[in-house]
Amino acid sequence: MYTKRLLKLIICSLFFLQSYAQVKESTVDVDIHSLSLYNAAQWKELIAYGKDKIGSGIDFPLLRMRIGYAAFMLGNYSQSLIQYKKVYNAEPTNETALYYVYLNNLYLNNINEARYYVTQMSKVAQKNLGVKKKKLESVETEFSYKSTTSSFRNDAQYYRLGFNTQLGYRIALQQSGAMYNQIISETLMPTTVTNRTNINIQQKEYYGKLNLALTGKINLFGGYHYLYTPFNNLIYRNDVAFGGIKYTAPYFHIKAMATNATITNKNYTQYDASLALYPLGNTSFYTISKASYNNSFIFTQVAGFKAAKNIWLEGNVTIGEYDNLIDNDGLYVYNDIDKKQFKAGGSIYALLSKHLLLTLNYNFEQKLKYSTTNNNFYQHSTTGGLQWKF
């Protein structure tokens, strides 16, 4: 009996050793074959082969780095980011993995996340990369001309000049000064407003927003927007404070924001949630869905794609009725006496050089005239902008 048990134990041990040897051999085989695919630049085959082997339980850093590089070469920066991030999490001293985590975020336009990973690099790597801790990152300007079909609303003009500054690797400051000019006639307004047939609006604005890259995935942001709005004999000093959080994943971004404001001497609160999707793992195609609530529900849908080298086209539609709305992380404050009922438009983004970005935009809006129930008119907005990146 003892001999039989001993024999079974020996046989089981041999099976175990054989199985172990097979796993070890298959890992070596995967290493050799994946290297062969890598050297042959067979990127699609390498990704398929590597994912299959990882799914079967064979997983090691070099395999993931080869898959990550193959995805990078194919322009799928999200997939590349996933693989290199796995390696970096397992090997925090792996400078190659860290470099590609940084680079993939940069190519996905995740600037704050990319700069966060610079803080994880050695001083030598930071110097070789040439990324400055503090700098004026960009200067931007835009001009918008708004024409209406209403004889009671003159055409309006909007001007903005902005500066984006890196205060550190993880802290960014966005600032803007803006002006909005329009003359309107509205006899239905309260008699406290003098000369109601010639209301001259010359609004002046300041905007400031701070962003903190808390981790490589989580950003906190907050800011303030001040609007000085003369309304003939009345002057409104509007204060808008906002704060939010953004979660960045390789293929999607989630953002939530809350706003508390005083607009035309009235308290105003708004809540926003948005989801951005990058299904191709790059900026060649993307969608942004945003829901806002401010005593009414407003939904905005954006879709964009890369139409040619350095040119992107984008369409947008906004559904919901509102006269006040905070948009684009508090940068734009729509404080109108007329209700907006529908908005749709399109944009062109053209990278004219390494440093210069041109933006052209058109928006169509259906509005409901102040204090009426069926007096609709339309507004056409044409905007041009330039951004210079240093």
CATH 2.40.160.40 domain residues, the chain: 135-389
Q: What is the pLDDT of residue 62?
A: 97
Q: How many beta carbons lie within 10 A of that of residue 128, not counting itself?
A: 11
Q: Which helix (H) or strand (E) holds 349?
A: strand 332-351
In CATH, what number does 27-129 get? 1.25.40.10
Q: What is the pLDDT of residues 259-289, one digit of tens each?
A: 999 999 999 999 999 999 999 999 999 999 9
Least Cα distance to 60 among 28, 93, 38, 95 occurs for 28
Q: What is the pLDDT of residue 10?
A: 52
**Cα distance between residue 222 and residue 206, in whole Å:** 14
Q: What is the pLDDT of residues 219-237, one digit of tens each?
A: 999 999 999 999 999 999 9
**Cα distance between residue 67 and residue 48, in whole Å:** 9
The dihedral sign for the CA sequence 300, 348, 281, 137:
negative
Parts of the chain with a pLDDT under 50: 1, 6, 14-25
CATH 1.25.40.10 domain residues, the chain: 27-129
The answer to whether residues 53 and 20 touch, using CB atoms and an 8 Å cutoff, is no
Q: Which two tokens stand for residue 132?
A: 């400055």
Q: What is the pLDDT of residues 76-90, one digit of tens each?
A: 999 999 999 999 999
Fold of 135-389: Porin (2.40.160)
